Amino acid sequence: MRIDIYSDIVCPWCYIGERRLHRALAAMPAGGRIETVFRPYQLDPYAPDAPVPLKTYLERRFGKRAEGMLDAVTRSAATEGITIHWDRALSSNTRTAHRLLQWALREGGPDTQRKLAEALFALHFTHGGYLGDISQLADAAASVGLDAARARSYLRSDEGISELEAAFAHARNLGIMSVPTFVIDDRYAIQGAQPVTTFVHVLEQARSTSSDDARGNACADGVCAT
């Protein structure tokens, strides 16, 4: 079974949802390999490359609602063992970070890519790192066992840019409109950071049904049969 995780590193619900998914996977009975792969999506493709304080960015976008939104996310994140420091976090364009995740998948495979995604989430939300800084990204790559010098060289080149554009286009063609979205074997889609019980239910259903059984486009409570 393969789960494609469409997410953006600056999306807190993507961080929370990824943790809930892996808690669900840990609760699943043994029975075949389940592979998770991060796929790129940008909440704001036009975000500037230069970093700005995240709270300032959110207040510009959402006005007075921003503070209440942050409080709700902080509480949900804490239940998954995630610490968010909004006062440290920086908003910036995530294209370079997505390129690194694509490279990590190629170089180290899905497990290494997942570890890097966790490291990048923590860099952004907990440590106040800048996701557009090649040195910080290379250090994150090194922290999960990848070669920092090769990561720097890759990010300073044009390599992987066309592949990233194709991946963004693929997400649009699939109709991905929000993240996180978890696509299971191209048959089921779970939208949003659903409870662990929802993930377990859909994963068990996907494991027990054929592609013919899953046909259709019905959606309910954030779960779609594609």
The CA distances from residue 7 to 31, 114, 137, in Å, are 27, 12, 17
Residues 6 or more apart in contact with residue 201 via CB below 8 angstroms: none
pLDDT-derived band at 216 (thresholds 50, 70, 90) equals very low
Burial zone of 131 (CB within 10 Å; 0-12 exposed, 13-18 middle, 19+ buried) = buried
> Whole-model pTM?
0.91
Q: Give the pLDDT score at 10.
A: 96
Q: Which two tokens stand for residue 46?
A: 């036009």
Q: Give the pLDDT score at 217.
A: 45
pLDDT at position 191 over 70: yes
3-state helix, strand, coil in the chain (%, to 5): 50, 15, 35
Q: Give the pLDDT score at 103.
A: 98
Q: Where are the alpha helices (DSSP H) in 144-176?
A: 148-156, 161-174
Q: Give the pLDDT score at 212.
A: 53
